A and B are shown apart, each in its own frame.
Chain A
Amino acid sequence: MSKTWAVARQMIAEGIRMKIALVFLVLLGMVVLGLPFSIAGDASLTGAVQSFLSYGLTTAAVLLGVLTIFMSRSLSDELVDRQIFLIVTKPVPRWQFVLGKWLGMTLLNAAFLSFAGVSIYGMAYYIKHTHPPIDDRYDARELVREVLVARHALQAKLPDFEKPADAEFQRNLEEGLYANVPDFDPAAERARLAKKSEARWRVVGPLERRVFEFENVLCDRSAKNEVQIRYKTEVSRYPPDEVFRARWRFGDPRKETAGYDFPIRHVVGRHHTISVPADAVAKDHTLTAQFFNHNPFVEEGEFGSIIEFRKADGVEVLFVVGTFGGNLFRLLVIMLCKLMFLAAIALLAATVFSFPVACLTSFTVYVLAGARSFLEEALDFASGDGATIFTSAKEFLAQSLALIFDVVGWLIPDFARFDAVETLVNGRNVSLVWVLQAISELVLIKTLVALALAMILFHRREVAEVSL
Chain B
Amino acid sequence: MAERTLPVVQTAGVCKTFKDFWRRPRVEAVKDLTLEIRPGEVFGLLGPNGSGKTTTIKMLLGLLYPTRGRISLFGKAPTDVSVKARLGFLPEESYLYRFLVAQETLDYYGRLFRLPGRVRRERGSRLLDMVGLAHEAKRPVGEYSKGMARRIGLAQALINDPEFLILDEPTSGLDPIGARQIKDVIRELGRKGKTILLSSHVLSDVEDVCDRVTILYGGQQRAAGDIDVLLRKADVTQITAPLLSAETIEHLRELIVRLEKKDILGVSHPRVRLEDFFLRIVEEAQAANIRTSGARAGGVLPEFLQKPTEATTQEVVESLVAAGASRTVSIAPPPTDEKTDGAAKQEQEVLEQLLGGGRGRVEAIRPPGIASPAAHRVEPQRPGSPIHADAAVIDALLKSDKGRTSEDGESGA
List A residues at the B interface (Cβ < 8 Å). 2-3, 5-7, 9-10, 13-14, 17-18, 81-93, 462-468
Q: How far is the CA of A372 from the CA of B27 in the complex (A)?
A: 45
A90 touches B84 (CB 8 A): yes
A86 touches B99 (CB 8 A): no
* CB under 8 Å from chain A, chain B span 28-67: 58, 61-65
Q: Mark B146-166, 1 if CB is under 8 A from A, else 0.
A: 000000000010001000000
Further pairs besides A92-B84, A468-B20: 20, Cβ < 8 Å: A3-B111, A3-B114, A6-B112, A7-B112, A10-B97, A82-B93, A84-B95, A86-B91, A87-B112, A88-B61, A88-B62, A88-B63, A89-B84, A91-B81, A91-B84, A92-B112, A464-B58, A464-B63, A465-B64, A468-B27
B residues within 8 A CB of A7? Answer: 112
List B residues at the A interface (Cβ < 8 Å). 18-21, 26-27, 58, 61-65, 81-82, 84-85, 87, 89, 91, 93, 95-97, 99-100, 104, 108-109, 111-114, 156, 160
A464 touches B64 (CB 8 A): yes
B residues within 8 A CB of A5? Answer: 111
Instruction: Determine which of B20, B87, B95 lies in contact with A467 in the assembled complex, contact meaning CB atoms within 8 Å.
Output: B20
Q: How far is the CA of A17 from the CA of B99 in the complex (A)?
A: 6
A-B contact pairs, 5 of them (CB 8 A): A10-B100, A13-B104, A82-B93, A91-B84, A468-B20
**Chain A residue at minimal CB-CB distance from B112:** A90
Query: In angstroms, how far is the closest chain A Cβ from the Cβ of B337?
Result: 20
**Chain B residue at minimal CB-CB distance from A17:** B99
Instruction: Determine which of B62, B84, B97, B111 lies in contact with A83 in the assembled complex, contact meaning CB atoms within 8 Å.
Output: B97
B97 touches A2 (CB 8 A): no
**Chain A residue at minimal CB-CB distance from B104:** A13
A residues within 8 A CB of B89? Answer: 85-86, 89
Query: In angstroms, how far is the closest chain B Cβ from the Cβ of A296?
Result: 72
A residues within 8 A CB of B156? Answer: 86
Instruction: Determine which of B85, B93, B96 lies in contact with A91 in the assembled complex, contact meaning CB atoms within 8 Å.
Output: B85
Nearest 4 CB-CB pairs, A to B?
A: A6-B111, A464-B63, A17-B99, A91-B85
A90 touches B95 (CB 8 A): no
A residues within 8 A CB of B58? Answer: 464
A residues within 8 A CB of B81? Answer: 91-93
Once A82-B91, A89-B89, A468-B18 are accepted as A-B contacts, the answer to whether A462 and B64 lie under 8 Å apart by CB is: yes
Query: In angstroms, how far is the closest chain A Cβ from the Cβ of B130?
Result: 18
Query: In angstroms, how far is the closest chain A Cβ from the Cβ of B113?
Result: 6
A463 touches B63 (CB 8 A): yes
A residues within 8 A CB of B27? Answer: 468
B64 touches A90 (CB 8 A): no
B113 touches A86 (CB 8 A): no
**Chain B residue at minimal CB-CB distance from A97:** B112
What DSSP secondary structure best describes chain A's contact surface? loop
B97 touches A85 (CB 8 A): no
**Chain A residue at minimal CB-CB distance from B65:** A462
B residues within 8 A CB of A463? Answer: 63
A85 touches B95 (CB 8 A): yes
Q: How far is the CA of A81 from the CA of B89 in the complex (A)?
A: 16
A89 touches B61 (CB 8 A): yes
Q: How far is the CA of A9 from the CA of B105 in the complex (A)?
A: 12
A residues within 8 A CB of B99? Answer: 13-14, 17-18
Q: How far is the CA of A14 from the CA of B96 in the complex (A)?
A: 12
Once A85-B63, A89-B87, A91-B112 are accepted as A-B contacts, the answer to whether A467 and B21 lie under 8 Å apart by CB is: yes
A89 touches B62 (CB 8 A): yes
Q: How far is the CA of A87 from the CA of B95 in the complex (A)?
A: 10
Residue in A3, A13, A91 with the greatest tally of chain B CB atoms within 10 Å: A91
A residues within 8 A CB of B84? Answer: 89-92
B113 touches A90 (CB 8 A): yes
Instruction: Determine which of A85, A90, A464, A466 lies in contact with B109 in the assembled complex, contact meaning CB atoms within 8 Å.
Output: A90
**Chain B residue at minimal CB-CB distance from A92:** B112
Once A89-B87, A90-B112 are accepted as A-B contacts, the answer to whether A82 and B95 lie under 8 Å apart by CB is: yes
Once A90-B84, A91-B85, A464-B64 are accepted as A-B contacts, the answer to whether A83 and B112 lie under 8 Å apart by CB is: no
Q: How far is the CA of A89 from the CA of B100 in the complex (A)?
A: 19
**Chain B residue at minimal CB-CB distance from A93:** B81
Q: How far is the CA of A86 from the CA of B82 in the complex (A)?
A: 16
Query: In angstroms, how far is the closest chain B Cβ from the Cβ of A94?
Result: 9
Q: How far is the CA of A88 from the CA of B100 in the complex (A)?
A: 19
B18 touches A466 (CB 8 A): yes
Q: How far is the CA of A27 from the CA of B394 in the complex (A)?
A: 60
**Chain B residue at minimal CB-CB distance from A82:** B95
Q: How far is the CA of A298 from the CA of B65 in the complex (A)?
A: 91
Query: In angstroms, how far is the closest chain B Cβ from the Cβ of A23?
Result: 15
Q: How far is the CA of A433 from the CA of B52 in the complex (A)?
A: 59
**Chain B residue at minimal CB-CB distance from A460:** B65
Residue in A3, A5, A93, A466 with the greatest tally of chain B CB atoms within 10 Å: A466
**Chain A residue at minimal CB-CB distance from B166:** A89
B96 touches A83 (CB 8 A): yes
B residues within 8 A CB of A83? Answer: 95-97
B residues within 8 A CB of A468? Answer: 18-21, 26-27
Q: How far is the CA of A84 from the CA of B64 in the complex (A)?
A: 13
B residues within 8 A CB of A92? Answer: 81, 84, 112
Q: How far is the CA of A90 from the CA of B79 in the complex (A)?
A: 10
Once A92-B81, A462-B63, A468-B20 are accepted as A-B contacts, the answer to whether A86 and B111 lie under 8 Å apart by CB is: no
Q: How far is the CA of A467 from the CA of B25 in the complex (A)?
A: 11
Query: In angstroms, how far is the closest chain B Cβ from the Cβ of A12?
Result: 11
Q: How far is the CA of A468 from the CA of B23 in the complex (A)?
A: 9
Query: In angstroms, how far is the closest chain B Cβ from the Cβ of A465?
Result: 7
A2 touches B65 (CB 8 A): no
Q: How far is the CA of A116 from the CA of B24 in the complex (A)?
A: 51
Q: How far is the CA of A10 from the CA of B112 in the complex (A)?
A: 11
A residues within 8 A CB of B114? Answer: 2-3
Query: In angstroms, how far is the closest chain B Cβ from the Cβ of A211?
Result: 68
Q: How far is the CA of A89 from the CA of B21 in the complex (A)?
A: 26
A residues within 8 A CB of B108? Answer: 6, 9-10
Query: In angstroms, how far is the closest chain A Cβ from the Cβ of B147?
Result: 18
**Chain A residue at minimal CB-CB distance from B107:** A6
**Chain B residue at minimal CB-CB distance from A100:** B112
**Chain A residue at minimal CB-CB distance from B90:** A86
Q: How far is the CA of A173 from the CA of B408 in the complex (A)?
A: 118
Q: How far is the CA of A25 from the CA of B3 in the complex (A)?
A: 59
Residue in B61, B89, B95 with the greatest tally of chain A CB atoms within 10 Å: B95
B residues within 8 A CB of A93? Answer: 81
B residues within 8 A CB of A2? Answer: 111, 114
A residues within 8 A CB of B91? Answer: 82, 85-86
Q: How far is the CA of A86 from the CA of B93 in the complex (A)?
A: 11
A residues within 8 A CB of B61? Answer: 85, 88-89
Q: How far is the CA of A18 from the CA of B20 in the complex (A)?
A: 35
Query: In angstroms, how far is the closest chain A Cβ from the Cβ of B179?
Result: 21
Q: How far is the CA of A86 from the CA of B149 in the complex (A)?
A: 14
